[in-house]
Amino acid sequence: MAIDSSKRILGYYSLRPAIWEVRDKYNKIVGTSFELELAMIGVVKELQGKKNVGMPLLLDAFEKTLAVSKIVGGIERLWVGPLNDRCKKFYKNAAFTKAANSQRMFIAVGEIADALAELDAFIAPDPL
C-alpha cells in the first residue's frame, strides 16, 4: 500500500494464486502450473499515469512474487488482465508480454529480477 505523510491511501495492489491449465489440441488437460495473478493495482485518480505510485507498487509486487516463488517453488509467471490500453502500455513498459489468443499479459518469474533492476532506475525518489 502507498500512503502519504498524512496517512492518505494513494494506491494498493493485490496478488492472488492461480492455477494455469495446459491443454492439448483436443482441449484435454495435460498439465497445470501454479501462477500468481496481480489482481489489482489501484491508484488515486489524480496520481494515475505518474511513476511515483503505480510503478513502485508494481516493483513491490515483483519483489513479493520472487519471495513467494522462493518459498513455494514452481511459480512460473505473474499474470495481469489490463482493463484498457493505458494499462496495457503500463504493463508492456514493465516487461510484460501479451499472451497468445488473450488480452491477458504475463512476465516470467525468471525475468522479474532483470525487470526490477531496469525499472528501478526510472523511478524518481518519492517526494511524499
Q: Is the pLDDT of residue 127 over 60?
A: no
Reading the block at residue 31, the C-alpha cell is 498439465
| Cβ neighbours for 60, distance < 8 A, ≥ 6 positions apart | 13
Q: Is the pLDDT of residue 29 over 90?
A: yes
| pLDDT tens-place string over residues 96-115 | 999 988 889 999 999 998 88
**Residue 37 included in any domain:** yes
Number of structural domains the chain divides into: 1
pLDDT value at position 116? 87
pLDDT value at position 80? 96
**Residue 21 included in any domain:** yes
**Residue 127 included in any domain:** no
Single out the residue of 103, 96, 6 nearest to residue 55, CA to CA.
Answer: 96
| pLDDT tens-place string over residues 47-94 | 887 768 888 899 999 999 999 999 988 899 999 999 999 899 999 999
**pLDDT band at residue 22, thresholds of 50, 70 and 90?**
confident
**Residue 126 included in any domain:** no
SS (H, E, C) 10-71: EEEEEEEEEEEEEECCCCCEEEEEEEEEEEEEEECHHHCCCCCCHHHHHHHHHHHHHHHHHH
The CATH number of whichever domain residue 92 belongs to comes to 3.40.630.30
**Residue 99 included in any domain:** yes
Integer Cα distance of 126 and 99 in angstroms: 33
Q: Residue 75: which domain range?
A: 2-79+88-120
**Residue 128 included in any domain:** no
**Residue 68 included in any domain:** yes
**Residue 24 included in any domain:** yes
Q: Is the pLDDT of residue 38 over 70?
A: yes
pLDDT value at position 65? 95
Residue tagged 495435460 (cell numbers) = 30
The amino acid at 2: A
DSSP strand pairing (29-43 vs 9-23)? antiparallel
CA distance from start to end of the chain: 14
